Each structure stands twice: as C-alpha cells, then as structure tokens.
Structure 1
Amino acid sequence: MKYYIITGEASGDLHASNLMKELKNEDAQAQFRFWGGDLMQAQGGEMVKHYRETAFMGFVTVLKNLKTIRANFRLCETDLLNFAPDVLILVDYPGFNLRMAAFAKKHGIRVHYYISPKIWAWKESRVKKIKAYVDRMFTIFPFETEFYKKHNYEVSFGGNPLFDAIENRENKDETFDHFIERNQLSNKPIIALLAGSRKQEIERILPVMLQVIPRFPDYQFVIAAAPSITKEFYASVSKGNDLSFVYNQTYDLLQQSKAALVASGTATLETALLRIPQVVCYKMSGGSIAYRLGKMLLNIKYISLVNLVVDKFVVKELIQQYCNPDNISKELDLIINDEVYRSKMLTNYEELNVHLGGAGASARFAKMIYEDIQAIKA
C-alpha cells in the first residue's frame, strides 16, 4: 500500500521513521512518500521536502515567509494527488497538517493523525477541524485520550513511541570514557543543554543557560545541537563562549550526563525516560506580560510533559521571567548535590512507565494503521 507522511520537525522525523520501520513489517509492499527528515529517509521512499525547509515558528517569521509557505501548500497538494496514497499520515505540525487534512478529505483520501497536535494546551477549537477531517486519531498520552473523549471523539491510544526510540538507540551500553573520547570532551562530569530545535527558541533560551556555566566550574556543559541548526548559528547566539556540541547524539549525551537543562517539549520526557535529573527552562517573547497572558490562555497546569503525564510536580519549571541564571543555578545545584532531592525526582520518573504503557508502541500503531486501511479496502 502507499503511505504519504507529513511531519515538520526533528521529533516528528524520529517517530515517523520508527512507524515506517514497523509499517514495513506489517506491509511488505509498503511505498512511502513524505515530508520529513534524515531518519525517515533512511527507511526508504521518496522525500519531497526536508523539515528544515518548512519549519517556520512565530507570527513575524510566518509573515516574512508567507510566499514560501503558500508555495509549500500548493506543492504538497499537487504531490499528494499525484501519488494517490491509500492513507495520509499526519504527524503533529498542526498549522500545515490540518490544512492538508481538509484537502485530503475533500479529495477522498483517508486521513490518519499520528501524534496529536497539542490542542489540549492551546487552540482547543481546532478539535472541530480534527473531527471534521481526520478519520483516525492516534494518541500517545492518556490525558489526550481523556481530552478527546470530552469532545465526543473516539481516538486510539497505543502507548508512547519514545520508549521504542530510547530502547533501540545506538550506543546504549557506551561508557563515559568512550563517549568523551569519541567527542573530544574533557573528563569533567557533564551537564547537558537542550535548548530547543528551532532558532527562535534557541535565541531566547540558550543565552540564559550559558550564564549558569561560570557557577559550576567542576562541570562541562555540552549542547545537544539540533540537526537543522549550524554551529555558526550557535556561535552567534553564544557571543564568544567556547562551547562543546554533539550532533545527532542527544540520547548518548543525556545518558552520560549528571543533569540537564531542558527547554520545554518532548525533550523533557526523553530526559526523564533516560533517568536524568533536569531543570525545565522556557522563555518566549513578550516578557512578564506574555507570561500572564499565557497563564490565562493555556488549558494546562504544567508545561513539561513529565509533570503533565503523572499529573503532579516532578520537575521544576522555570518559565519566562523566572527562567533566569539565579533560579536555574539554585535548582541545578539541588539536583546535582542534594541526594534526597535528586532521588525523589528519579523515583517519580518511574511513574511514567505506568502511565505510558512501555515499549512496543510503534509496532502497535503500525498494526492499527495497516488494519484500518485493510478494513476500508475490503
């Protein structure tokens, strides 16, 4: 069968690639065409656009790139119809994907949404479009299932594919000595810096993280560089700091770290599943006014997925004006040096396994997708 997949960022590329791998196990005749990244490309098929060419974040950035965005929509619409897939599989990326869902529905193409947009946190009204245009929604968090149930929309929960990505990672038995030798790092203990995957995020968050470095001279701070961001860009943001980077080794870096400073997002959950204590750091444009406005508009108690999944305070969230060097340093010192505090966080991490269903999610989702299409074609 023919599968057309659209994702717009690095995490989507990861999850879609694992889904493709499992779909090939279900369907020996699987053909793929996709908007994605290098990991999806490694699974075979034809890539139309790399996500680094389509990732536009923020109102101003979108306005500046409207011509390109419109051209991408036209290209995607034409390409989708020419490929004539058995199913369109959308991975998060709602600004682009919900429009493509509407287009596909209009032209009789079955639509599956794999990894729901975060409409439970922001723009809840988008649920109307999902109910109208999406034939099957596959959720990866239990609280998403409850959210859709509230809106009388049936979804399929199959666990969280991050378990598979982490379990199947390369170098999971690597030693600290081998890691630092391979990456030409010092032998000091490591603090990992995960400052986001988009330029706008990195510009806001990384400079604050870097101000913490002089306060911890016994540690080396290493950036988990986003695949689509150049070293030159990181250098321009760091303003003269001599930084260490690793590319395409986020899990390897976290595994060898004493602790991590992490921008809100999927990375917070990845860090927890690898059992690394963390401080969640997030800043947006607009200062304290944006923070107060966000608290009024967002429909969630927490911004980190760790806290959301277990529905309690597990990791410290430092947001907007509270995301400053003093607060970050105070929390980092606790998770490094206070054994009771550190152990409590690690113990709370164990609850994630209970809530998220363990390994095998990618295979479960692939089976559901394949069987759904088979049933429609029968």
Structure 2
Amino acid sequence: MKYYLIAGEASGDLHGANLMKALKKEDPEANFRFWGGDLMKAVGGTEVKHYRELAFMGFAEVVMNLGTILKNIKLCKKDIAAFNPDVIIFIDYPGFNLRIAKWARQKGYKTHYYISPQIWAWKEGRIKDIKRDVDKMYVILPFEKEFYEEKHNFPVHFVGHPLIDAIYNRKQVVPKTFKKENGLDERPIVALLPGSRKQEIKKMLEIMISVAEGFKDYQFVIAGAPSQEKSFYETFLSIKNVHFVTNKTYDLLSISEAALVTSGTATLETALFKVPQVVCYKGSRISYEIAKRVIKLDYISLVNLILNKTVVTELIQTDFNKKRLKEELANILDPYQRASMFLDYYDLEKALGGRGASENTAKLIYSDLKEN
C-alpha cells in the first residue's frame, strides 16, 4: 500500500515515525511519502518537506507567513496527486491538514486522522469539516472519545497515547555516564524545556534561566530542540550554572529532579517520566489577547486537562516571571509536594490507556484498507 503522511511539528514527527514502524509490521510492502522530520526519515520513504519549514507560532505569526503557508498547501496537493496514495494520514497540525483533507475528500482519497485536532479547546466549529472530510479518526486522549461520540455523534477510535510507547521503548541511560558525556557535574538536574520554535524559545529561556543562580545546589540544563542549531542557544549559555544538551530530551528527563516546561506535549512527556514540573507559557501580546477570547479551557497543560484538576502549576503570560518561577520551583523541590505530584502522575498514566497506540492505529488503518 501507498501511505502519504503529513506531520507539521516535532511531536508529529515522533508519532508519525512510530506509526510508520507499526504499519511496516502490518504491511511489509508499505511505501511512504511524507511531510515530517528526521525520525520519520529514518524509518524510510520519501520526505517532501521538513516540519521546521512549516512551524509558525501564534495567530500573528501565521498571518505574517500566510504566503508561505498557501504555497505549501498548493505543493502538497500537487504532490499527493502525483503519488496517488491508498490513504492520506493526517497527524495533528489542523490548520494545514484540514485544508488538505477537504481537497482530498473531493478528489476521492481515503482520509485518516491520527491525533485529533484540539477542537475541544477552540474552534469547535471545525467538527463540521471533520465529519465531512475525515473517514476515520484515531484519538489519544480519553476525554476525546466522549467529546466526539456523545457530543457530536461522530464515531472515533481511542487508541491510547503514543508517548507511553515512545518512553517505555527507549534505551535506558546511566546517570553518571550521561552527566560525564555532556560536561555536567554530580548535582541534581533541573531540566529546561523551552519549546521547539525560535519565537517561543527566546521568550521562554530568558525567564527560565533567570532563576538558575538562586539554586546553586542544582544545575540547569537546556534541552535543545532537534530543529534548531546549537549556535541559536549560545546567547543563553553565558549564564553561570546553565548547561546545554541537544536532541536528548528523553535522556535528560529520565535523570532530572525537576523541570520548567513550555506548555505543550512536553508537559505530558515530563509527567510520564515522573518529573515534577512547572508549566510556563508566554506568547506575543496580540496572540495571547486573541487566545484568551477564543480558548475556553480551565487549564493549558495536558496533565491538568486530562485529570481535570490542578496537578502542576501553570504560569501564564504576566504570571510567568522570575519571582513566581523561583517560588514554584522551590515548591516542586519540596519532598511533600513531590510525593503528591507523583501520585497524580500515576493516575494520569492509567487514564491514558496503557501501551500500544501506534500498533493499535496501524492495525485499524491497514484493516480498513484491506476491507475497502
């Protein structure tokens, strides 16, 4: 079978790669063509565009890059038509993927969506487009199945969360070896996860590293994104007690004592590694003011959303400042606070449904293709 996959972010590249591996087990003759990243490329197939060319952050940034986005949409349609796949698999990235899905449905292609757009957070009206343009939807958060089926009468498959597999299947690291190889000393680590896009990294790191000198018994380590060159981070490495590793986020989290994390998938990854965290977010003023008016959620982190309570502290916009961050970091280094958070983390993993998301999805996709 011929599979065309579209992922527009680092997390989509990870989940796309694991799905491709699982599809290969179901279909040894699988032929992949994709928009993604290095992880998908390592599995095999043909890369059309790397996600680093697609990632634009926030409302204002999207408007400023509208011309590039429209060119990419045109290229994608032309490339799909030339490849003529048996199925198109959309991985999150709704602003782009839903536009392609509308065109693809009109052209008669099979449209499968893995990792639902977060329409339960905002733009719930997109459900009309999804019901019209998506043949099969595979969701990874437990409350999404109820949202789609009970609220909108649209059947979906809850397959579990792929991060659980990605974390459990990784090669274990030896803390002493990791520290030695990366120029770190024996002090416990506070991991800094500032995101993957240049705009957000600059905003987040400036404040994250400001607290480093106040915790001299710990060393602070920036988790560099695979999509960015090390030279981009040089400005932030002149601060005493701040170190850097690149493309080793999971290894870093596996030996960290605490973490300061930019809101997004990384909050869930950090929780699954059982690392106490403070969730941070600061966008452009325009983007934030628009978001406040359209997003109807009590929380921004997936950890709190899934458990529907405050498990991790969220410092958003003006609350994300040196004073508050220092206070909250001290809290999660306190033994009692840590124990409470660990208990919630175990409940979180249980709610996510266990292992096998990639395999479950691959079996469902391949079964559908064989039957139709």
* 2:213 alignment partner in structure 1: 214
CA distance in structure 2 between the partners assigned to 1:297 and 1:80 by the alignment: 33
Residue matched to 2:65: 65
What's the counterpart of residue 329 of structure 2? 332
Q: CA deviation at 1:47?
A: 0.4
SS state at 1:196 partner: coil
Per-residue CA shift, 1:196-236, capped at 9, x if unaligned?
Answer: 11112112211111111111111111111111112222234
2:358 counterpart residue number: 362
Equivalence map 1:196-215=2 (5 Å): 196-215=195-214
Q: How many equivalent residue pairs?
A: 370
Distance 2:364 2:228 in 1: 35
Displacement after TM superposition at 1:75 (Å): 1.2
- Is 1:300 matched with 2:297? yes
Aligned positions of 1:214-363 closer than 5 A: 214-236=213-235, 238=236, 240-241=238-239, 243-286=242-285, 290=288, 294-336=291-333, 338-363=334-359
Matched ranges for 1:147-162 at <5 A = 147-149=147-149, 150-162=151-163
Residue matched to 2:164: 163
CA shift at 1:322, angstroms?
Answer: 0.8
Query: Quick one: distance in 2 between partners of 1:297 and 1:96?
Result: 19
Deviation string 1:73-105 (CA, Å, 9 cap, x unpaired) is: 121111101111110000011111011101111
Provide the rounded CA distance (Å) in 2 between the counterparts of 1:286 and 1:17.
35
Contact 2:277 2:312 in 1 (8 A): yes
1:295 Cα shift?
Answer: 4.4
Aligned to 1:182: 181
Matched letter for residue 275 of structure 2? I
- The separation in 2 between residues aligned to 1:240 and 1:29, in whole angstroms, is 50
Q: For structure 1, which runs of at least 5 residues remain unmatched after alignment? A: none
Amino acid at match of 2:110: R
Can you list the C-alpha shifts for 1:324-348, whole angstroms capped at 9, x where unaligned? 1111111111111x21111000111
The residue identity in structure 1 corresponding to 2:164 is F
- The equivalent residue for 2:53 is 53
User: Could you tell me which amino acid in structure 2 is paired with residue 169 of structure 1?
Assistant: R
Counterpart CA distance in 2 for 1:239 and 1:13 is: 28
Residue identity matched to 1:218: D
Separation (CA, whole Å) in 2 of partners of 1:349 and 1:147: 23
d(CA) in 2 for partners of 1:123 and 1:204? 26
**Cα deviations by residue, 1:126-151 (Å, 9 ceiling, x for unpaired):** 11111111111110001111221211
Which structure 2 segments of 5+ residues have no match? Answer: none
Alignment of 1:74-93 (within 5 A): 74-93=74-93
Q: Which moved more, 1:226-235 or 1:20-29?
A: 226-235
CA distance in 1, matches of 2:268, 2:257: 16
Residues 145 and 156, structure 2, Cα contact 8 Å, conserved in 1: yes
Residue of structure 2 equivalent to 1:127: 127
Structure 2 distance, partners of 1:354, 1:159, is 10
Q: State the AA in 1 paired with 2:114.
A: Y
Please give the secondary structure, in 2, of the residue aligned with 1:358.
coil
CA contact (8 A) 2:281 2:317 kept: yes
Aligned partner of 2:298: which letter? K
Larger deviation, residues 198-207 vs 38-47:
198-207
Structure 1 vs Structure 2 CA RMSD: 1.6
Letter in 2 for 1:191: V
2:355 aligned counterpart, secondary structure: coil
1:257-300 per-position Cα deviation (integer Å, ceiling 9, x unaligned):
1100001111011001110110111111218x946x64443222
Partner of 1:374: 370
- Return closer, same or farther for 1:225/1:308 CA change in 2, 3 Å cut-off: same
| Range with bigger deviation, 76-85 or 200-209 | 200-209
- Matching residue of 1:146: 146
* 1:137 aligned partner: 137
Q: 1:69 to 1:298 in 2, by over 3 A?
A: closer
> What displacement does 1:252 show?
0.4
What is the alpha-carbon distance in structure 2 between the residues aligned to residue 245 and residue 50 of structure 1? 24
- Contact 2:223 2:245 survives alignment (8 Å): yes
Q: Provide, for residues 148-170 of structure 1, a one-character-per-residue CA deviation record: whole Å limited to 9, x for no partner.
A: 12111111101000011001112
Structure 2 distance, partners of 1:319, 1:52, is 25
- The 8 Å contact of residues 162 and 356 in structure 2, kept in 1 or not, is answered as yes
* Offset at residue 108 of structure 1 (A): 0.3
Residue type at the aligned position of 2:8: G
Deviation at 1:248, TM superposition (A): 1.5
> How many angstroms does 1:66 deviate by?
3.0
Which residue in 1 is equivalent to 2:112? Answer: 112
Rounded to whole Å, the distance in 1 between the matches of 2:197 and 2:120 is 22
Partner Cα separation in structure 2 for residue 358 and residue 142 of structure 1: 11
**What SS class does the counterpart of residue 118 from structure 2 fall into?**
coil
Distance 2:166 2:71 in 1: 33
The farther-off stretch of 183-192 and 258-267 is: 183-192
Alpha-carbon distance change, 61 to 296 in structure 1, aligned in 2, over 3 angstroms: closer
Letter in 1 for 2:115: I
Following the alignment from structure 1 to structure 2, what is the Cα–Cα distance between the partners of residues 240 and 247?
17
One-letter amino acid matched to 2:49 = K
CA contact under 8 A between 2:237 and 2:244: conserved in structure 1? no
Tell me by how many angstroms 1:353 deviates: 2.2
Partner amino acid for 2:55?
A: A
